[in-house]
């Protein structure tokens, strides 16, 4: 039973395992955002090419496209805590390798590209295990709050990480940002190591990995509410979630900012996302998910159109703040809608499809954003992807009911209702 003194916003923290994980992630995610920011700046410094910046982002997410469905099977078959320990140690080692190459002056574009692909491989196995691990740490009663709180620290890291990266790059160089990221992984590795959560594992029952993947896909296909969320996620991920490609170009080419200014813009995006995630943790309920999903996607697309028109760093930061709030509202609402609908025994596989769509289409989106910026210019690229995102959200709202029915299987799904 929840303690009376536990604030509604933080009620999932009453679970020791989630509390450990949440605190470890708070440190580790700040390091990860430092690396993401520093990596984009390093590529631009080495090459000056928007297309190569998009290529690195594509290489980082291509393994998601190739491996995530199989990773979902592993997440349902094997202890998720052990999978996460392996992926976090791997990501730390890749960060240390990039730090060494950069600090020693040996770094080349192909080094960054290869390590981005290796990091993407580790994250492909990490994501389904991580998403389906929440319910083992908190139970179903606090799952929605746990996902929202995880979004909170993710977006707190958006504020802290890019700002620290900008200051670190200017003060001591890009390589130190990678080194700090490598060290930050020890916080979440320690948290996973000392947890007392049972290492649950499920027998495959003689079925092949391909058969288990088909079972997860059949559930999604037969559950319109889940299918609608995932299809819209594919469109928004392709079009609107490539700010890591377009914002550096906006900072460098349009607003003529240095690394500190770029970090400031990314922090504004993170501050808006932080506000959105805290609001969702406090006030989010399942009954509001449909409107939050559609409204978040529409507002994000509208904000990106506005970014194509701004000429002032302050105004750009204000618009990015709004984009951040809209983005996290959309993503967290989509994630929790799927998580609360799926049966426990399918959670790893269904969330692997969710993450496959979320991250797997990113190579296409990154190439699209980079190519549009190089061919038409950064402002026009913002206008194109933003407008298409609004159209996709409104179209999805007209086709699917986007709120899943809690605890029901595809055969038991409630009749579709308009948003």
pLDDT tens, 252-269? 888 888 877 888 888 888
7 burial level (CB within 10 Å; 0-12, 13-18, 19+): exposed
With CA atoms as reference, report the closest residue to 281 among 8, 6, 4. 8
pLDDT tens column, 126-159:
988 888 888 788 876 777 678 778 878 877 776 7
The three-class DSSP label of residue 54 is helix
Give the C-alpha distances (Å, rounded to integers) separating 288 from 229, 232, 285, 294, 419. Answer: 14, 17, 6, 11, 10
CA gap 179, 111 in Å, rounded: 16
Residue 287 is predicted with a pLDDT of: 54
- Residue found under tokens 């391909």: 210
Which of 2-11, 186-195, 405-414 comes out lowest in average pLDDT? 405-414
CA gap 3, 15 in Å, rounded: 11
How does residue 384 score in pLDDT terms, banded at 50, 70 and 90? Answer: very high
Contact between residue 402 and residue 232 where contact means Cβ atoms under 8 Å apart:
yes
Can you tell me the mean pLDDT for 294-318?
A: 90
How does residue 419 score in pLDDT terms, banded at 50, 70 and 90? Answer: very low
- Integer-rounded Cα Rg, in Å, for the chain is 20
Which of 130-144, 243-257, 398-412 comes out lowest in average pLDDT? 398-412
**Looking at domain 11-195+210-412, what is its CATH homologous superfamily?**
MFS general substrate transporter like domains (1.20.1250.20)
CA gap 322, 214 in Å, rounded: 39
Can you tell me the mean pLDDT for 233-245?
A: 87
Of 64-78, 167-181, 243-257, highest mean pLDDT? 167-181
Contact between residue 334 and residue 342 where contact means Cβ atoms under 8 Å apart:
no
Contact between residue 265 and residue 257 where contact means Cβ atoms under 8 Å apart:
yes
Residue 404 is predicted with a pLDDT of: 41
Contact between residue 163 and residue 151 where contact means Cβ atoms under 8 Å apart:
no
The three-class DSSP label of residue 189 is helix
**Tokens for 333?**
């609402």
**pLDDT greater than 90 at residue 179:** yes
Give the C-alpha distances (Å, rounded to integers) separating 5 from 8, 11, 13, 63. Answer: 9, 9, 12, 44
**pLDDT greater than 80 at residue 201:** no
CA gap 45, 26 in Å, rounded: 29
Q: What percentage of the chain reaches a pLDDT higher than 70?
A: 87
Can you tell me the mean pLDDT for 207-227?
A: 83
**Tokens for 14?**
């009453």
CA gap 15, 13 in Å, rounded: 5
**pLDDT greater than 50 at residue 417:** no
Max CA separation in the chain (angstroms): 61
CA gap 157, 382 in Å, rounded: 24
217 burial level (CB within 10 Å; 0-12, 13-18, 19+): middle
Which stretches of 250-288 are DSSP H helices? 259-283
pTM for this predicted structure: 0.73
Strands (E), 273-318: none
CA gap 317, 311 in Å, rounded: 11
**pLDDT greater than 80 at residue 170:** yes
The three-class DSSP label of residue 402 is coil
Q: Count of residues for the chain?
A: 419
Residue 412 is predicted with a pLDDT of: 38
Could you give the count of Cα atoms lying within 13 Å of 99 in the half-sphere of its Cβ? Answer: 18
Residue 90 is predicted with a pLDDT of: 95
pLDDT tens column, 317-371:
999 999 988 988 888 778 877 877 787 778 788 888 888 888 767 778 878 888 8
**pLDDT greater than 70 at residue 304:** yes
Which of 269-273, 280-284, 294-298, 327-331 comes out lowest in average pLDDT? 280-284
The DSSP secondary-structure symbol of 253 reads: I
Which of 82-96, 176-190, 246-260 comes out lowest in average pLDDT? 246-260
What are the respective helix, strand and coil percentages of the chain, to the nearest 5? 85, 0, 15
Count Cβ atoms below 10 Å from residue 341 Cβ, excluding itself: 23
With CA atoms as reference, report the closest residue to 358 among 178, 238, 276. 238
Can you tell me the mean pLDDT for 13-22?
A: 89
Can you tell me the mean pLDDT for 286-310?
A: 84
CA gap 295, 270 in Å, rounded: 19
pLDDT tens column, 32-89:
989 988 898 888 888 888 788 878 877 887 887 788 888 888 888 888 889 999 999 9
**pLDDT greater than 80 at residue 93:** yes
With CA atoms as reference, report the closest residue to 278 among 148, 157, 159, 161. 148
């Amino acid at each position: 039973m929840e303690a009376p003194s536990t604030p509604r916003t933080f009620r999932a923290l009453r679970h020791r395992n989630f509390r450990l994980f949440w605190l470890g992630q708070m440190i580790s995610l700040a390091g990860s955002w430092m690396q993401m920011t520093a990596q984009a700046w390093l590529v631009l410094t080495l090459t000056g090419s928007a297309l190569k910046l998009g290529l690195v982002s594509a290489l980082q997410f291509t393994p998601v496209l190739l491996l995530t469905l199989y990773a979902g099977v592993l997440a349902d078959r094997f202890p998720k805590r052990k999978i996460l320990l392996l992926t976090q140690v791997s990501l730390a080692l890749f960060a240390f390798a990039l730090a060494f190459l950069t600090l020693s002056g040996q770094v080349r574009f192909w080094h960054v590209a290869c390590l981005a692909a290796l990091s993407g491989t580790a994250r492909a196995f990490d994501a389904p295990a991580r998403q389906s691990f929440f319910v083992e740490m908190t139970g179903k009663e606090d799952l929605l709050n746990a996902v929202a709180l995880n979004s909170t620290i993710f977006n707190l890291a958006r504020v802290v990480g890019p700002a620290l990266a900008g200051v670190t790059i200017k003060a001591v160089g890009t390589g130190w940002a990678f080194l700090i990221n490598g060290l930050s992984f020890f916080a979440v590795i320690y948290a996973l190591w000392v947890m007392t959560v049972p290492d649950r594992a499920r027998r495959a029952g003689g079925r092949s990995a391909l058969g288990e993947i088909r079972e997860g896909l059949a559930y999604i296909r037969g559950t319109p509410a889940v299918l609608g969320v995932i299809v819209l996620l594919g469109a928004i991920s392709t079009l609107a979630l490539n700010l890591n490609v377009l914002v550096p170009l906006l900072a460098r080419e349009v607003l003529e900012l240095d690394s500190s200014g770029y970090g400031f813009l990314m922090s504004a995006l993170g501050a808006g996302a932080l506000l959105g995630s805290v609001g969702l943790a406090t006030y989010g309920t399942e009954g509001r998910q449909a409107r939050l999903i559609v409204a978040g996607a529409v507002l994000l697309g509208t904000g990106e159109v506005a970014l194509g028109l701004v000429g002032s760093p302050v105004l750009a930061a204000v618009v990015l703040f709004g984009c951040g709030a809209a983005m996290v509202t959309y993503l967290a609402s989509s994630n929790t809608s799927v998580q609360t609908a799926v049966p426990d025994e399918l959670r790893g596989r269904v969330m692997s499809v969710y993450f496959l769509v979320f991250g797997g289409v990113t190579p296409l989106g990154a190439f699209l954003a980079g190519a549009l910026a190089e061919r038409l210019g950064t402002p026009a690229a913002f206008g194109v992807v933003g407008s298409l995102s609004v159209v996709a959200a409104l179209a999805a709202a007209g086709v699917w009911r986007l709120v899943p029915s809690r605890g029901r299987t595809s055969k038991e799904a409630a009749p579709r209702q308009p948003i």
